[in-house]
Chains A and B, each alone.
Chain A
C-alpha cells in the first residue's frame, strides 16, 4: 500500500489519465475495425480501479470483469501486450485467443477479466482460500458490477468468504446500468453496500468518482482482511460515460443524466483540478504526463500493429492437447 503522499497522488493521476487515454484509443481502433468483437470501455469509472489498486501490494490478487481494461492497467499490466491482445495478435496476453474480456496475468496476480457477468465472484472465494492458506497476509480484490450483484453467485460467494473469514475485498462498481437495466430498477434494497449486514461484514457505500475516497476505504478493508477478520463489501457509486459498448447509443439514459455525470463526476478531470488547486501539480506537469501517456499508448499501438497474427498451424497443434 502506497502512502497518500504528493507523489502517490501524482501517480494516481498518471494512472487515471493512462486508463482514460488507453480507452479512448481502443474506441478509435474499434471504430476503425482494428478491434472487433466486444469492447467495454472503462471511461468514467477509472477512480475505482486506480484507488483500489493503489491500496494493495503487487503480491495481492485482483479479479476483474468484462469491463476490465482499467483494472489491468491499474494493477500494472503491460500496455503493449494488452493492445496486442485487443488486436488479436500472437504477442497479446492470450496469444489472440482471448481478446478484451479474457486478459489475465498470474505474474501480476491479475486472475482474469471475465466474459460472464458475475463469473469472477466465485473464483474470489478460492483466491481468498489461497491467500489464507499461504499465510503471508495477501488479499484478493474482487471487482464486479451492479449487474453481477444480482446474480445468485454473489450470495454463495460472499457468504462463504464471510464464514471462512477469507481476505477478500468485494468492490461493486455500481455504474447504474447492466446493459440497459438501471440498478434502481434491479436492486431491491437500492444500495448493494447495505447487503453487507446480511453477512455480518463491514460495508461501505462511497463515491466511486473520487480516487482518494476509494483508496481510503479499500485501505481499511485491506487492513481488516490482513488482520484475519475476513471480507468487506464496498459499493462504489460510479457511471460509465459511454454505452455498454462503443456501438451502443445508450438511449435508455436521459441526456441530462449523462451530462451531469460527465460534467460533475468525471474522475480524471476532477482529480486533475484538485491536484492543480492544491498546487501538488502544475499545468506544465499535467501536459508532461499527458504527453508521456500518449507516447506509451502509441508505442503499444505500434507494437500491436506490427506484431504477427497467430499462426493457424501452431494454434491447431496447441489445441490438440485440449
Chain B
C-alpha cells in the first residue's frame, strides 16, 4: 500500500515536471507570471530576428479592410464622405472584415 502511494506521487511529480517543462520551454506560450519568468530565465530577453511583416503593424489596418470598404460602397458619392477607417479595437462590436465599413 505504502509503495503504491509512493509510485502514484512519483508519477504525479514526473507528469508535473513534463508539463512545466513544456510550458516554459517554448513548446507552449507561457500563460502565468511564473511561467513567463521561468521562460525568460532560460531563454533570456534578447532581440530576435523578425520578418519584415512584423516590422510595422500594418496588418492591423489591412488591405482587406480597405478592400471591403470599397466593395461595400454602393453609391460612392453618397457614402464616401461619411466612411472612415477605424482601427481594430476601437468599437465594441467590431467584426473583422466588416467592422470598418461606413461608420461615421
Q: Do A and B bind each other?
A: no
Using CB atoms and an 8 Å cutoff, list the residues of chain A in contact with chain B: none
